[in-house]
Amino acid sequence: MPGFLLTVASQVTCLHQGKATIVPGQTVVLAGGAPVVTVGDVVAVAGCALSGATPPSPCVTVDFALAASTRVFVLGKPVVLEPAGPGTGVSQSATKAPQGTPVITSTQLRAAGS
């Protein structure tokens, strides 16, 4: 699954327009001047508008395990790739219930992996 490396400067939202904030676990490896995101990094979502469920369970995190590189690692952890098409991760509620695929609207376009 080739794709560009996600960085903390990438713009990510949940399907319900909640803004994802990526807290990097490392600041040594950069792409486009920003730390590269690894599978172990914390991705918190704020402002999710999902309220139709009973009880409401808005997105609070994003799990990027599905977007992990199989060949590129940073400090022993796989980097997160932005592949073309779906499969970039899973937005989750506080109870870890899947809420849909996150939307990546911008990322750096120089460093790629698979």
pLDDT in tens, 16-49: 999 999 999 999 999 999 999 999 899 999 999 8
Backbone torsion region of residue 71, taken as left when φ is above 0, otherwise alpha when ψ lies between -120 and 50, otherwise beta: alpha
Residue 34: per-residue pLDDT: 96
Distance in angstroms (rounded) separating the CA atoms of residues 64 and 17: 17
Please compute the mean of the pLDDT values over residues 77-104 and round it to a whole number.
84
Distance in angstroms (rounded) separating the CA atoms of residues 106 and 96: 25
pTM here? 0.88
Q: Is the pLDDT of residue 61 over 80?
A: yes
Distance in angstroms (rounded) separating the CA atoms of residues 106 and 97: 26
Average pLDDT, the chain: 89
Length of the chain: 114
Q: Which of 93, 104, 91 is nearest to 64 (CA)?
A: 91
Distance in angstroms (rounded) separating the CA atoms of residues 50 and 91: 11
